[in-house]
Every structure is written in structure tokens, then in C-alpha cells.
A and B are shown apart, each in its own frame.
Chain A
Amino acid sequence: MESYLVDITLILDSTVRLAVPLILACMAGLYSERAGIVDIGLEGKLLAGAFAAAAMSAVTGSAWLGLLAGIAAAMMFSGIHGLASITLKGNQTISGVALNFLAAGLTTFLGQSWFKRGGYTPQLSGDQRFNPITLPFANELREVPILGQIYYELISGHNIITYFAFIVVPVTAWVLFRTRFGLRLRAVGENPKAIDTAGISVTRLRFQALVITAVLVGIGGAYLSIAQSAGFNNNMSAGRGYIALAALIFAKWRPGPALLVCLMFGFLDAVQFRIQGQSFPIIGEVPVQAIQALPYVLTVILLAGFIGRAVAPKAAGIPYTKER
């Protein structure tokens, strides 16, 4: 009995760890998509953020500077995206996909030419990473059955970005539905003309959304390389940007449900790690690759079958052109 409880706690604990980059990327995508910009480039922004954070942290020895570098890199990518799709009214999806290619190539190239480790950044340790924080009384309460254990294992002992990610969700919901900025953001994603005729700049509003997107996804990238892992490796975002986007659609662009969906994807991932190499009754041992594919397969199934009608922000994907 006891060991099951520990098992479950451990799976939930890694669910949280694995969900964090999804949550951050998903919230990032939420801002831009609610503003009417389809952000398939989340993947590239995540990867660029991860690389920049690890590189900066490796060079300066400061995780915080690494975090800033991650945000800066994502900001640069968002800037390009905005320039292409808002200012020049290019296709949002195509420019986003281009960013993904750019990120994949650029991170490997720069990584190799700077650090000469086949695209990997040096191993990070100590202050170069965001380390787990032990919340007050965690050690004292550790011995208390169940609640104390949950507090010690599940709630305490995460790094600061994890806590930040969980705060971002309610803040996003609040911004979106309770503030002037949120009202305008939602409006510009539904009917930019309404915003334009109200005398508000569509371009500025959409760029503002992209800036928030960049900050969040940059932090998400930094989490991958300098909090969850100890360094950058090639293509370490591994499709999380796409999964975050899927989660966003699944949650119908709402922050609360998006959090739940991200946690669910995190959970699938955690279970996947857990059951690798284990033998099942009847089936026997399942190949690792099949198990690793599980979260992705489920993503496809969920998106195809269970989502129902997801109504995207009406103006998403359409560059705004003032016309007569």
C-alpha cells in the first residue's frame, strides 16, 4: 500500500516537472493566438530560448542571466514573426514554420561553433541552474503521513520557474477577462476592425501580445535547459511547442482548461517514463519507442476525436489590412 502511494506521488511529481514547459509555452501561445496570431513558431521560440539560456549561463555562471538571455532570444524570434506577419502582413503559419527551422539549425550551428561539443552546451551546475527550493517546514512535515509527504514531495522541492508557471495561469485568466488590456486583446483576435474603428492600433496591440508570448516561452525554454536539465542538447524542445499548441486548441483557448490539459500531457509523459522497461501481463515488455510515442499518439487521438468543435479566435491567422 505504502509503496503505491509513493509511486503515485512520484509520478505526480514528475508530472508537474514535465508539464511546466508545456504550461509556459501554452500560456505564451494563448496571448498571441487570442490576439489573432497563430503561433506555430512556439516550438522554435522554445528551442531558441533553451539554447540562449544554457549558453549564457555556461559563459557567465548565472542562471538569472541565462534566463534573461532565453527571454531575449525568444523576443528576437517573436520580433521576426511580428515583422513578417503583422507589419509585412505575411502568412503567420509559414513565417512561424520558418522560425522553427531557423531555431533548429541556428542552435546546433552556434552551439557547435561556440562550444565544440556537437551542439551540446557544457554541463551546468550550482548557480548556473535553477535549483530546487525547499519550502518552509517541508523537512519537518516530511514524516507526517500522506499530507506531509505530499507537501514534501509534490509541492516543495521545485525550482522557481515551476512555481512561476503555476502562478502565470491565474494571472493570465485575470488579465484576459478582468482588464482593459485583456478585453482589447480578445477583441483584436476576434474582429480587429472593431479595435481599429475604436481608435486603437491593431499593430501595436498584436506586438504587445507577441512580447508577452516571447517572455513566457523564453522562460519555458530556459526551464528546459537550465532548470529541468543541466545544459542544452540538440532539439531538446522535442515538439513541446507543438504539444502546447495542441493543448491550447484542446482547451479552446481558455487558461484554466489549458492548465489541466498541459498537466494531462505531463502526466502521460511521466507515466511513459515510469513504465519503460517494465513487463506487462500478456503483452510482455513493450518496446521503449512505442511507449515514448504514447503522449504523441494520444495527442493525435484527443485532437482528432474528443475535442468537439473548437472555435478559434475568428481573426486568427489573418493579417489585418485596413481597407475601404
Chain B
Amino acid sequence: MTGLNPTNEQRSSGTAASALAIELVGINKHFGPVHANRDIHLAVRRGTVHGIVGENGAGKSTLMSILYGFYTADSGEIRVNGVPQKITDSRHALALGIGMVHQHFMLVDNFTVLENVVLGAEDSALLRPTLNRARDHLKQLARDYGLEVDPDAIIENLSVGQQQRVEILKALYRGAETLILDEPTGVLTPAEADHLFRILGKLREEGKTIILITHKLREIMAITDEVSVMRQGAMVKTLQTKDTSPGELAELMVGRRVLLRVEKGPANPGKVLLDVKNLIVTDDFKVPRVKNISFQVRAGEIVGIAGVAGNGQSELLESIAGMRDQLGGTISVNDKVLSLEGDDGAARARAAGLAHVPEDRLRMGLVTNFMAWENAILGYQGSYGEGLGLDIGKARSTAEDYLKKFDVRPANLDLKSSNFSGGNQQKIVLAREMERDPDVLIVGQPTRGVDIGAIEFIHNQIIKMRDAGKAILLVSVELDEIRSLSDRILVLFDGHLVGEADPATADETELGLLMTGSHSDQVITEPGTLPAHETPMQQTLVEMSPKDNSGRDTN
């Protein structure tokens, strides 16, 4: 039952029985009091790309996990090729030809590609025959679908795009006829995403069925044949992609009209509030990540830093926020150079008029075990009460004010922060940082894991700050977000600023090329195909020329 590749006869007999590869009938699933899937009906036609969209928590992933056997439905029926099936575990799903590419890859980092592909689908107790056979099979799959990956490469040395290809190979090696992809492009560069879509196109040509879960409507429009919209655990509607529009889909997802484009007037830049000069920052392993960067952010403008994750954004943000020491260069806020002494840099940066919305709210923005009101004053607790005392009354009333202004739901001061949804957690952090009326606001990934409705709200708040004359530095891996919010775009690649663009005129391809360190007049080198030995450690700061280099970090 493992490593099976259904023959053509089997495939065509299935087609004769039903044009539907997958059919879900009346699926219900509860998690405690949460009704995650309510009476879901879904029909996926064979040989199509079927998109599933919905906000976070709409039940997309739950539904797919049921199809993949990770969970069992409380009620309802799954039909594969028209035959009702009880899918009890992933192995069973795989045997029925259903493969899944998870959002967070299920790969063993220190194994080779080959070992990962055969894991769980070995032919025999000894590895060698399996590995030899898999090697041949992989070659063939690479030829058929453009899925080239070195079978002997170690996973942790591969780029994210390549790791994803390994996940797809895993599914195909197991004979998957239906492939579920969960938010596949979230971690990819535009070029990698294009490559993925080419692969998906080939798979569809070969008669495979693809279910694509995403919240990026642009991707839905570009690649799918049909699209199903989920909201609050229910299936709202299934549409032919060619008959719908992003606006309609967004409205179906949220349940009300949503403005997809951010409405903002022209920027009105004033004096320089944030001035970064020749900044050099290393990561925890003393590897330089920010390599001699200079830029300025003026009052009343939003400067966006575009780049693929892992090119120095985190270190840049953390060092400006005072959380990470710089190796060289200066950071000035309001013409005042931030001092480097001591380990209370973050407090001093705040005192200088800088507010920071960290990239990773769960790790740096919040203490998830704290209640909402505690997180709402965290970092500014010094201004609530004298000496060792804490003026809880004042803190709570401030927090209450924040929750109301930022429409945090539920507006419950005593709810543990981990029990808020991602969007509401982010609103708490934003409220805390914005309501202190800073001169400079630096924001990392403001809408990562945040619902469309909340995204709209957060974007508007950021614009409001700008119009109030604040200097805003925005770092995001979502190119769309950078383009729609920023007044100027700086592109960060491998620790260098490699270009500046005007969001109004910037061409996406050009930006993508800059983000991967490739010239427009140069053939795109596949990201991550660098030899494994070429680590940043070996590259000296001075010699670094970003243009000679197409490598990037894999994390």
C-alpha cells in the first residue's frame, strides 16, 4: 500500500465511475464548544485546481485535515472517486491517493531529500533497495513535472521553495492523485511562487487534482478553475473562477464589503525623524546580517522594506528597536543618537520617541500567559504608579480605552492573551505602541496571520499615524502589503539595500528580481541553488557585492 502508483487502467476506471475526485457530504466537526466545520459540502472535479479561501479560523485547515485523516469528522461522508470512504489516518488517505503539502513542512531537516521522500513509504526493512528505486522514480518525476531537486541534498541546506518541492515529491512518490496544498506561497518569493504555479499547471495537465488553500485572492484568480469560500466554519459558495472577482470573494469571506486597496492620500514628508547610518548588525551566531545600511525616514511618510524573509529584516528591526547591539553605525531618532551602552536599549529607544511593533507578536510582542490589560501596558509599566507600586486602576482604564479604540474582540480585560485571535492580539500590540504617540513607529509583519477584516483596520491605523506626521518604517514579507502602504520601498537582500522603488510605478517582476539579488538583464538563478558551503560566515562584509550573489537564507 505504500509507494503505489496507480496504473492508467485504475485511473480511467475511476474516471468512468465519477468525474469528481473528492466529494465531501455534510461534514461536521466540533472542537469542544467550537463548531469548526458545519455541514460542509464540497465537490472537487478531477483534473482541476480547486481553491479554498476563507479567513483564519474559517475551518479550511480543519476540513483538509479531515480529508487527510488527521482528524475524524463527527458526522458526514467522504467520497473518493465516487466511493464512500472512512479515512481514519494519514496512511489511509495516502493509500487512497490523497497527498498533502503542509504549510509548515513535515520534513526531517538533517535527512537527505531521498530519505525524506521514502520515510514511511519504504518497500522493505532494508533501506538500500528502497533508496535506489526512489532515486530513479524521483528522476522521472523531476522530468515529468519540473520538480528538480538534488536527491542527496540535506534538507536544511535547501531553499524554502526547494523544500516545498520535496513535500510535493513526497506526495507524488506515494502515488497521490489528489494534492492538497495548505497556504503554499506564504513562504515563497514571487519567483518561487511562479515556479510552483508552473508545477501545479503541469500536474493538472497530467490529470492530477489539486486543492489549494490560500488567503491570497490574486493566486486564486491566477491558477484555480473553481473556488470555494468558507466563513466561520461553513461553506458559503463555490464559484467558477472565471466568473468571479477578488472583490466578490473578499466580500464572501468576510461577510461584508471590504476595500482591498488601501485608501490613502499622497505623503507629505517633513523632517527626518529616523536616521540610520552605516548600520552593521550580526545575528546570535555573530554572522553579519545587516551589512552597512543607511536610510532615513521622514515625518509623514511610510518607508517599506521589501525582501524575502531571512535577508536581515529581523536583525534590522531588532537593532533599531534597541533589542540587538549593532557592530557599527548609528541610529538616530529625532536627531538624537541612540546610545549602545547597557542592555536596556529597548527602553531607551522608547524614551527617545520610538515605538516598535515586533515581527513575532507571540515571542516578542506579548506575554501570551498575561491578561489583555497586562499586555496593554507592557513595556510602559513604569508610567503606571510610583516606585515598586503599580497603579492597576489606571492601567486597566487605559487598557479598556485601547481595546475599545482598536475594536479588540472580545473586549475582555481579563482574558488571557493567548485566547485572542491573531488579529486581536495584533491589535492589542498596535494599540499599546501607537497610543503612546511616538515620533517613529517601526512595524514588522503587521498583518501576519491576521484576518482580512482586521488587516483593513490595521492598515488604516498605520495610514492614520502617517497622516498625523509620524515616521513609519514598515517591514513585511508580503509584497502586496509593502506596495499598498509604503510611500517609498527599499529592497533588502542579503543584508544590503539593493534598490529603492516608487510603489506607484514599481514593477512586481523587477522588485522580485531585486529581492532575490538578480539583475533584470541576467537570467534568474534558481534561489537556493548555491553550494552549501557558501555561508555568510565566509563572506566578508567589505567584499560582499549583492549583485554577484543569488543565494539567500532558507529560514
- Chain A interface (Cβ within 8 Å of chain B)? 177-184, 186-187, 190-191, 193-200, 314, 322, 324
Query: Of all chain B residues, which has the CB nearest A322?
Result: B70
Query: Of all chain A residues, which has the CB nearest B105?
Result: A194
Chain A proximity of B386: nearest CB distance (Å) = 41
On whether the beta carbons of B108 and A200 are closer than 8 Å, the reply is no
Q: Which of A178, A191, A324 has the most CB of B within 10 A?
A: A191
Q: Which of B125-133, B252-260, B341-349, B390-398 contacts A (4 or more CB under 8 A)?
A: B125-133
Q: Which of B85-93, B234-242, B324-332 contacts A (4 or more CB under 8 A)?
A: B85-93
When distances are taken between beta carbons in the complex, the residues of chain A under 8 Å from B111 are 183, 186-187, 190
On whether the beta carbons of B108 and A194 are closer than 8 Å, the reply is yes
Docked Cα-Cα span, A197 to B107, in Å, equals 10
Docked Cα-Cα span, A195 to B492, in Å, equals 37
Chain B proximity of A238: nearest CB distance (Å) = 35
Chain B proximity of A307: nearest CB distance (Å) = 18
**Please, could you name 25 A-B residue pairs with CB atoms under 8 Å apart, sorted by A?**
A178-B128, A179-B127, A180-B125, A180-B127, A180-B130, A181-B125, A183-B127, A184-B120, A186-B111, A187-B119, A191-B106, A191-B107, A191-B108, A191-B109, A194-B106, A195-B120, A197-B70, A197-B100, A198-B91, A198-B119, A199-B69, A199-B90, A199-B92, A199-B120, A324-B65
- Chain B interface (Cβ within 8 Å of chain A)? 61-62, 65, 69-70, 89-94, 100, 102, 106-111, 115-116, 118-122, 124-128, 130
Query: Of all chain A residues, which has the CB nearest B107?
Result: A194
Contact of A197 among B92, B106, B122, B124 (CB under 8 A): B106
Docked Cα-Cα span, A181 to B115, in Å, equals 12
Contacts A186-B108, A186-B111, A194-B106 known; A179 to B125 CB distance under 8 Å? Answer: yes
Chain A proximity of B67: nearest CB distance (Å) = 13
Docked Cα-Cα span, A282 to B157, in Å, equals 55
On whether the beta carbons of A199 and B108 are closer than 8 Å, the reply is no
Contact of B109 among A180, A183, A314 (CB under 8 A): A314
Query: Of all chain A residues, which has the CB nearest B71?
Result: A324
Chain A proximity of B118: nearest CB distance (Å) = 8
Contact of B119 among A177, A195, A314, A324 (CB under 8 A): A195
Query: Of all chain A residues, which has the CB nearest B122?
Result: A180
On whether the beta carbons of A200 and B120 are closer than 8 Å, the reply is yes
Contact of B120 among A181, A190, A191, A198 (CB under 8 A): A198
Docked Cα-Cα span, A130 to B109, in Å, equals 44
When distances are taken between beta carbons in the complex, the residues of chain A under 8 Å from B109 are 190-191, 314
Query: Of all chain A residues, which has the CB nearest B31?
Result: A324
Docked Cα-Cα span, A179 to B90, in Å, equals 23
On whether the beta carbons of B91 and A199 are closer than 8 Å, the reply is yes
Query: Of all chain B residues, which has the CB nearest A182?
Result: B127
Contacts A183-B127, A184-B119, A324-B62 known; A196 to B90 CB distance under 8 Å? Answer: yes
When distances are taken between beta carbons in the complex, the residues of chain A under 8 Å from B126 are 178-180
On whether the beta carbons of B90 and A197 are closer than 8 Å, the reply is yes
When distances are taken between beta carbons in the complex, the residues of chain A under 8 Å from B100 are 197
Chain B proximity of A92: nearest CB distance (Å) = 20
Chain B proximity of A56: nearest CB distance (Å) = 33
Docked Cα-Cα span, A322 to B106, in Å, equals 13
Query: Of all chain B residues, which has the CB nearest A197?
Result: B106
Contact of A183 among B70, B91, B107, B122 (CB under 8 A): B122
Contact of A324 among B61, B69, B125 (CB under 8 A): B61
Docked Cα-Cα span, A197 to B182, in Å, equals 14
On whether the beta carbons of B62 and A187 are closer than 8 Å, the reply is no
Docked Cα-Cα span, A232 to B212, in Å, equals 64
Q: Which of B93, B119, B124 has the most CB of A within 10 A?
A: B119
When distances are taken between beta carbons in the complex, the residues of chain B under 8 Å from A183 are 111, 115, 118-119, 122, 127
| Known A180-B127, A199-B94; 8 more pairs at CB < 8 Å | A183-B115, A190-B109, A194-B116, A198-B90, A198-B120, A198-B121, A199-B69, A324-B62
On whether the beta carbons of B106 and A193 are closer than 8 Å, the reply is yes
Chain B proximity of A180: nearest CB distance (Å) = 4
When distances are taken between beta carbons in the complex, the residues of chain B under 8 Å from A182 are 127
Chain B proximity of A183: nearest CB distance (Å) = 6
Docked Cα-Cα span, A200 to B92, in Å, equals 11
Q: Which of B100, B106, B121, B125 has the most CB of A within 10 A?
A: B106
When distances are taken between beta carbons in the complex, the residues of chain A under 8 Å from B120 are 184, 195, 198-200
On whether the beta carbons of B130 and A199 are closer than 8 Å, the reply is no
When distances are taken between beta carbons in the complex, the residues of chain B under 8 Å from A178 are 126-128
When distances are taken between beta carbons in the complex, the residues of chain A under 8 Å from B127 are 177-180, 182-183
Query: Of all chain A residues, which has the CB nearest B110?
Result: A190
Q: Which of A179, A184, A198, A200 has the most CB of B within 10 A?
A: A198
Docked Cα-Cα span, A290 to B40, in Å, equals 73
Docked Cα-Cα span, A197 to B116, in Å, equals 12
Q: Which of B62, B69, B107 has the most CB of A within 10 A?
A: B107
On whether the beta carbons of A200 and B125 are closer than 8 Å, the reply is no
When distances are taken between beta carbons in the complex, the residues of chain B under 8 Å from A322 are 70
When distances are taken between beta carbons in the complex, the residues of chain B under 8 Å from A314 are 109
Q: Which of B100, B109, B111, B120 has the most CB of A within 10 A?
A: B120
Docked Cα-Cα span, A200 to B119, in Å, equals 9
On whether the beta carbons of A197 and B108 are closer than 8 Å, the reply is no
Query: Of all chain A residues, which has the CB nearest B125?
Result: A180
When distances are taken between beta carbons in the complex, the residues of chain B under 8 Å from A179 are 125-127
Docked Cα-Cα span, A301 to B65, in Å, equals 49
Docked Cα-Cα span, A306 to B246, in Å, equals 60
Docked Cα-Cα span, A198 to B69, in Å, equals 11
Chain A proximity of B56: nearest CB distance (Å) = 12
Chain B proximity of A144: nearest CB distance (Å) = 41
Query: Of all chain B residues, which has the CB nearest A313?
Result: B110
When distances are taken between beta carbons in the complex, the residues of chain A under 8 Å from B116 are 194
Contacts A183-B115, A199-B92 known; A190 to B108 CB distance under 8 Å? Answer: yes
Docked Cα-Cα span, A190 to B155, in Å, equals 12
When distances are taken between beta carbons in the complex, the residues of chain B under 8 Å from A197 are 70, 90, 100, 102, 106
Q: Which of A181, A182, A195, A199 has the most CB of B within 10 A?
A: A199
Query: Of all chain B residues, which has the CB nearest A314?
Result: B109
Docked Cα-Cα span, A229 to B482, in Å, equals 73
Docked Cα-Cα span, A179 to B93, in Å, equals 25
Docked Cα-Cα span, A178 to B130, in Å, equals 11
Docked Cα-Cα span, A58 to B93, in Å, equals 55
